[in-house]
Amino acid sequence: MLRSMYSGVSGMRGFQTKLDVIGNNIANVNTVGFKAGRVMFKDILSQSMSGVTAPVEGEKGGVNAKQVGLGVAVASIDTVHTAGSAMTTSVSTDLRIDGDGFFVVSPADGGPQYLTRAGNFTLDANRQLVNADGMFVLSSDGAPIVLDEAVTAFSISQDGTIISIDQEGLATPTDFKIGVAKVVNPGGLEKVGGNLYRMTPNANAGGELTIGEAANLETGTGSIVSGQLEMSNVDLTNEFTEMIVAQRGFQANSRIITTSDEILQEVVNLKR
C-alpha cells in the first residue's frame, strides 16, 4: 500500500481531534471560568531511504539523508490559562481572582479537594459557602466556611477576608478567609468536569496542593474581586478561523487518500 494513504488517514484523524477541541471551546464560550484548549501536532518518525554520507575535505562532498515522512500525530492538547474577561454582577458571593490563583472546593469536610476559577458561589440553608454543585468553598485553613447566624450581611475584601455586618450596621472582620491555591504549571491540571480541576504531579511537585491567602505578593495568588465573575477566555474570532483551517486540512488529507486510491486502481488495471 502507498505510504501517502496512511499519511492522509493520520492527517484526517489529527484534524478531527482539532475540530473536537474547537467544538468544545465554542460550546463553552459563555461558561464561567472556562479555559480554552488547543491542539498541537508533531510529525511521525520518518522512513530513511538512504543514510548520510560524511564529506571528505578535498575528495568528496557530503550527501544528505533521504527520508519520507509517515504522517502526523497529536503532540499535545493544551489548556490555555489566560485570564477571561470580567463580568460585573454586584452579587457579593460572586468572586473573581485577579491573578493566577484558584479557588479550592471540596464535596465534604476532609474530602478530596478540587481547583476552580468559577467563583459563582452561594450560601446554602446552613449558611455554608458553596459552589453551584453544593461543594464547600474552603478557607485558607482548608476548612469549610460557615457564617454565624448573627451575621445579617457581609462583604469580602481583596485578601479574601469575610467582613460581617450585624443588625446595627457594625462591620467586623471574621476569622474566615477565602482560600486560594497557586499552581506552578496550570497546564498540568486535569479537567474533571463542572469547571473543576484535579491536582496532578505535573502541576505541582509531588502533586501537593497548598491552600494560601489571596493578595499574597510572595506567592502571587492574586487578589479577590467581589461582585464579579471571570468569563470564558474563548475568542470566537480565533476559534472560527481555526475551524476553517481544520476543515481545509481535513479536506486536503481526504484528497490525498482519494488520489492514492486512484493510483492503486491504475496498478490493479495494469494486467488488463
Tell me what the pLDDT averaged over the chain comes to: 92
Q: Is there a single domain that holds both residue 194 and residue 244?
A: no
Q: Is there a single domain that holds both residue 202 and residue 135?
A: yes
Q: Is there a single domain that holds both residue 119 and residue 183?
A: yes
Q: Is there a single domain that holds both residue 263 and residue 214?
A: no
Q: Is there a single domain that holds both residue 19 and residue 138?
A: no
Q: Is there a single domain that holds both residue 103 and residue 162?
A: yes
Average pLDDT over residues 233-239: 96
Q: Is there a single domain that holds both residue 179 and residue 112?
A: yes
Q: Is there a single domain that holds both residue 173 and residue 210?
A: yes
| φ, ψ for residue 164, nearest 5 deg | -85, 150
**Reported pTM:** 0.88
Q: Is there a single domain that holds both residue 76 and residue 179?
A: no
Cβ neighbours of 130 (radius 10 Å): 19
CA gap 29, 268 in Å, rounded: 51
Domain assignment of residue 71, yes or no: yes
Domain assignment of residue 163, yes or no: yes
- The confidence band for 199, taking pLDDT boundaries of 50, 70 and 90, is very high
Cell numbers linked to 27: 460550546
Q: Is there a single domain that holds both residue 139 and residue 226?
A: yes
Per-residue pLDDT at 3 exceeds 80: yes
pLDDT value at position 148? 85
Domain assignment of residue 262, yes or no: yes
Q: Return the percentage of the chain with pLDDT > 70, whole number.
A: 99
Per-residue pLDDT at 168 exceeds 80: no
The domain containing residue 121 runs over which residues? 86-230
Q: Is 165 helix (H, G, I), strand (E, B) or coil?
A: strand
Q: Is there a single domain that holds both residue 150 and residue 206?
A: yes
Q: Is there a single domain that holds both residue 169 and residue 118?
A: yes
Question: Total domain count for the chain?
Answer: 2
Q: Which residue has the higher pLDDT, 240 or 172?
A: 240
pLDDT value at position 272? 66
Average pLDDT over residues 58-64: 89
pLDDT tens readout for residues 84-112:
999 999 999 999 999 889 999 999 888 89
- Single-letter code of the amino acid located at 118: A
- Cβ neighbours for 47, distance < 8 A, ≥ 6 positions apart: 3, 67, 68, 69, 70
- The confidence band for 1, taking pLDDT boundaries of 50, 70 and 90, is low
Domain assignment of residue 218, yes or no: yes
CB 212 within 8 A of CB 97: no
Domain assignment of residue 56, yes or no: no
Domain assignment of residue 173, yes or no: yes
Domain assignment of residue 19, yes or no: yes
Domain assignment of residue 25, yes or no: yes
| Pick from 2-16, 41-55, 104-118, 159-173: least confident | 159-173
Per-residue pLDDT at 207 exceeds 90: no
